[in-house]
Amino acid sequence: MVQRRNPYAPRAADFLSNISNFNIIESTLREGEQFANAFFDTKTKIAIAKALDAFGVEYIELTSPVASEQSRADCEAICKLGLKAKILTHIRCHMDDARIAVETGVDGVDVVIGTSSFLREFSHGKDMAYITKTAIEVIEFVKSKNIEVRFSSEDSFRSDLVDLLSIYQTVDKIGVNRVGIADTVGCANPRQVYDLVRTLRGVVGCDIEVHLHNDTGMAIANAYTALEAGATHIDTSVLGIGERVGITPLGGLVACLYAANPEYVKSKYNLPMLREIENLVAEAVEVNVPFMNPITGYCAFTHKAGIHAKAILNNPSTYEILKPEDFGLTRYVSIGHRLTGWNAVKSRVEQLGLTLTDEEVKDATAKIKELADVRTQSMDDVDSLLRIYHSGIQSGELATEGRRRLTDQAGDP
């Protein structure tokens, strides 16, 4: 189906792709807590966790219980909620942290350590032999508790490739559940992500998670490309909140995966909840949902230029790859502006139950453009103009030199 519509859609031969077979690790309650504005009290954390669970994310990741007393208490409280989503916590690659993490009741532990020369020099100061030794110790300990364990490097795209593959192969052999690649600084681009994930896919048998920062605005595309290359798990946060400008946003990821395979995404997630979850988190961290947010940005389904409006009215698929109704949203065709077109106006005339010929609609459209060159006309303005024009035609007044009179009437502020 997809192939017939679009010659560039994923090919059947693209056997590595997990575009239609992925899991979301939702990290609003971990990465999101690192957002400048974020301070989540216990009640808010529980509300967010429940909303994400109802939406259908497969995993919820929480701040390390080692971060503070309250972080630990909250982690324990969320584990006790009995959610369908698996609960993970995120710790440094250190036995002290691991011992505390496994006592909280989590379903899995995400372990991370910096492997780039930058972080090895300026952050923790450890060499690869030490990192490997500690990783093995921590992984075996967590596994002994019969819970999931992931091992991730940090700043993976600035780490030595051989070092990376070597440690991933080692932890894969001792039975880690997932390995993680992290673009901690947001420096990666889609083809780099594809190359690294594809290479890693040939080296390890376990699942592959990616964690992608958004400093250059490519985190959604990088996640998409990672899935194409064989990644299995994507980290997200609601609205992308996290360190600096954050990571792959949940809504954006859902948008691009829905565009690739709507039925699969609709079957996994409660899509109409997306807006509610975004509003919940936006309120908690005191930000606005960005106007250009995929799906829920307030103009995401607003069509304006005449040529777009005409085609949308004939068939929404012409200019929409996301169906607003699948997200509990509606489309809006704006016509009171200088870029309007007569086909869009004609559709409005019909909606108002008026009868005008095409020539008359074109005449009325010219009038709308004239007024809209001065200021944008609201839908009410346009409707009044069309009704006045229509009654002028009906009464015969407009048949001759009516346009000038119409101008005088409708031009009143």
Report, as residue numbers or ranges, the catalytic residues. Answer: 308
Q: With respect to its own copies, which residue has the nearer C-beta, 68 or 357?
A: 68
Q: Nearer Cβ to its own copies, position 144 or 314?
A: 314
Angle of the 402-410 helix axis to the 358-372 helix axis, nearest 10:
40
The contact pattern for its own copies, residues 2-41, with x = CB under 8 A and - = no contact, is ---xxxxx-----------------------xxxxx-x--
> Stretches 50-58, 201-209, 269-277, 293-301: which one binds its own copies (CB under 8 A)?
293-301
For residue 113, give every residue at least 6 positions away whose Cβ sits within 8 Å of its Cβ, in sequence order, or none. 92, 93, 124, 126, 131, 134, 135, 152, 153, 154
Cα atoms in the 13 Å half-sphere on the side-chain side of 52: 31
Tokens of 139: 């992984």
Nearer to its own copies, 55 or 194 (CB): 194
φ/ψ of 111, rounded to 5, equals: -105, 140
Footprint (CB under 8 A) of its own copies, residues 223-282: 224-225, 228, 239-241, 243-246, 249, 252, 255-256, 259-260
Question: Given the complex with its own copies, which of 134 and 214 has the nearer CB atom?
Answer: 214
Interactions with its own copies, residue window 112-151 (CB under 8 A) = 114, 118-119, 121-123
- Closest separation in Å from C-beta 182 to its own copies: 12
List of residues 6+ apart from 358 with CB closer than 8 A: 342, 346
Instruction: Give yes or no for residue 168 binding its own copies (CB under 8 A).
Output: no
Which residues make Cβ contacts (< 8 Å) with residue 133, sequence separation at least 6?
A: none
Segment interacting with its own copies (CB under 8 A) among 126-134, 261-269, 334-342, 403-411: 334-342
Q: Residue count at the site for its own copies (CB under 8 A)?
A: 103
Q: Does 192 bind its own copies (CB under 8 A)?
A: yes
- Which long-range CB contacts under 8 A does 192-197 form with residues at least 24 apart? 192/157, 193/222, 193/225, 193/226, 193/229, 194/225, 194/226, 194/228, 194/229, 195/229, 196/156, 196/157, 196/161, 196/229, 197/225, 197/226, 197/229, 197/230, 197/231
CA–CA dist 151, 176 (Å, integer): 7
Q: Which of 29, 49, 52, 67 binds its own copies (CB under 8 A)?
A: 67
Contacting residue, 45, 233, 369, 390, with its own copies by CB under 8 A = 369
Site for its own copies, residues 69 to 108, rule: CB under 8 A: 69-71, 92
**Rounded least distance, CB 262 to its own copies, Å:** 12
CA distance 142 to 144: 5
Query: Distance between alpha carbon 38 and the CA centroid of its chain, in Å?
Result: 19
Which one of residues 22, 151, 301, 342 is an interface residue with its own copies (CB under 8 A)? 301
Under the binding rule (CB under 8 A), the answer on residue 390 touching its own copies is: no
- In the complex with its own copies, the residue whose CB is nearer, 85 or 344, is 344
